Amino acid sequence: MMSKKTALVVGGSGVIGRNLANYLAKQSDWNTIALAREKESVVAENVKWVSMDLLDPADVAKKIHELQEVTHVFYAAYIPKPTFAEEVEPNLLMLKNILQAIQPVAKNLAHVVINEGVKAYGVHLGPFKTPAKETDARHMPPNFYYTQEDFLKQEQVGKTWHYTVLRPDVVCGFSVGSAMNLPLIIATYAAIAKELGLPLRFPGKWGAYNVLAQAMDATLHAEAMVWAGTSPNTKNDVFNVTNGDLFRWSHVWKDLAKFFDMDLEQPQTISLVQWMADKGEVWDNIVKKYDLKPYKLHQLAAFGFGDFIFGCDYDVISDVTKSRQAGFHRAENSHDMFIRLLQEFRDNKIIP
């Protein structure tokens, strides 16, 4: 009988990490350890939790002995900063601190999977070559993805473990407090508009309403990470992963209007950061009115991320041919994903 593998989910409180930990908790051939500074309250009971500050080498050294059984590291930690340059040092340091510390104690370490995104292709800079391929040239740095990837490649030289770099886009899942969880941004914006007696309007650029976009369900991404960490076809390589389909916000917004029982009107471009800045009291009233869990608006929605996504008035398409040829064939309907996740947030009394 094959012995169990032990996964270390680094960044277990985020949308990627939390959903991966809960996915692995249901798999009979995995033991799971989740790691972050603060424990995520909605992680399965059979997931071991380790609270660790990856920016503090002393804290890492103090607790690293708890990770001796780890065979696979799934890295999903992220620290946002005001500028791209400021993101480089802390995000590299976190990966470096955990990976260099765990190798001497985890004698059976077999694979490390890290997550990047379409910013590797410069989506944040404007229109870029699409469909984006893993072999495309890098953009002008800084980009902490590049520094993490370069460190990982160098660190692996001469070692028995292997690595895989995954590049998903707009990962959507059930999680509260994640910096980039688009369904909650949509839901809070729509609920506030409805409470104020307004119709539902796409808040982004007119051009963004009709271009092609993509996303990835967090549970599907969990499956992709496990595939990446265990397949013989993924060693020391880079793969794009998405739901496998494309959509236009103009079509998705019709589904959203039905879900929220709102009239749909034409787009009206606003900055969510600016126009939601004074809506905390409105949200508090919604929480009280519908007996929701007492989260504050800023805990649920990072509106800056919404402004970015809804401001992309150019196609955002990743070529997933390489991952399909290597053996990952699962897919998800993005329209269904948005509605399913919104219903899950509603069932859990987080949105009305």
What is the set of active-site residues?
119, 145
Q: Is the dihedral of CA 141, 143, 146, 152 positive or negative?
A: positive
For 56-90, the DSSP string reads: -HHHHHHHGGGGTT--EEEE------SSHHHHHHH
- C-alpha gyration radius of the chain: 20
What are φ and ψ of residue 208, in 5° steps?
-70, -20
d(CA 219, CA 199): 32
In single-letter form, the type of residue at position 46 comes to N
Burial class (CB in 10 A: 0-12, 13-18, 19+), 126: exposed
Query: Helix, strand or coil for residue 351?
Result: coil
- The dihedral through the CA atoms of 166, 162, 97, 6 has a sign that is positive
Structure tokens of 118?
């379409």
Residue 51: in which H helix or E strand, if any? strand 48-51
